[in-house]
């Protein structure tokens, strides 16, 4: 029997500087995600993104560009989760010092060309990023139904 968690909305940002992109990872995990996090009840997506990037990396985000949405559905320990990732692009501020302000999060930059070889979660983010980099048009990538 599978139970259902409430749908979560996450705000994520694709920070590009030159030919590199900023990624986050949970300490001890081998997968990566775009900086940002969950939208709190009553909070706007943009406010959540600004709050999360300030908390994670001390970055004040300016000039956001909407690049798309990626839906992610998965089952973990008998619970079905569904999240909608709202994605933006922004430039890293000049003089940004790489380093996480959260004890359980690591930040790193990787070559944009090498992004395909990494375990980026959710995987549908890759489609949104690839499409936006190709034609600068926002896109939606839905999730396949999770078993359970």
Q: Strand runs (DSSP E) across 1-148, as ranges?
A: 3-4, 8-17, 20-26, 36-38, 65-76, 79-91, 105-111, 139-141
Q: Where are the alpha helices (DSSP H) in the chain?
A: 45-57, 124-135
C-beta atoms surrounding 66 within 10 Å: 13
Per the confidence metrics, is the pTM higher than 0.95? Answer: no
Give Cα 40 distance to the centre of its chain.
Answer: 16
Residue range 63-69: mean pLDDT, rounded: 94
Work out the widest C-alpha separation in the chain, in whole angstroms: 51
CATH fold of the domain at 3-141: Nucleoside Triphosphate Pyrophosphohydrolase (3.90.79)
49, 11 Cβ separation under 8 angstroms: yes
- Per-residue model confidence (pLDDT) at position 15: 92
Q: Residue 76 class from Cβ within 10 Å (0-12 exposed, 13-18 middle, 19+ buried)?
A: exposed
The top-scoring range by mean pLDDT among 25-34, 42-51, 108-117, 137-146 is 42-51
Tell the residue number behind the tokens 């930059």, with chain if given: 109
> Which of 43, 64, 48, 52 has the alpha carbon at shortest distance from 24?
52
Query: What's the pLDDT tens digit per position in 104-142?
Result: 888 988 998 888 899 998 888 888 998 998 999 999 988
């Amino acid at each position: 029997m599978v139970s259902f968690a409430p749908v979560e909305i996450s705000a994520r940002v694709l920070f590009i500087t030159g030919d590199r992109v900023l990624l986050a990872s949970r300490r001890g995990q081998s997968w990566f995600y775009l900086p940002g996090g969950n939208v709190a009840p009553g909070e706007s997506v943009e406010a959540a993104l600004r709050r999360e990037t300030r908390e994670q990396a001390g970055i004040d985000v300016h000039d956001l560009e909407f690049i798309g949405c990626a839906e992610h559905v998965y089952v973990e320990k008998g619970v079905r989760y569904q999240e909608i990732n709202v994605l933006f692009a922004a430039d890293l501020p000049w003089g940004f010092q790489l380093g996480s302000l959260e004890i359980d999060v690591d930040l790193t930059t990787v070559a944009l060309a090498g992004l395909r070889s990494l375990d980026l979660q959710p995987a549908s983010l890759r489609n949104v990023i690839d499409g936006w980099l190709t034609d600068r048009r926002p896109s939606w990538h839905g999730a396949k139904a999770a078993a359970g």
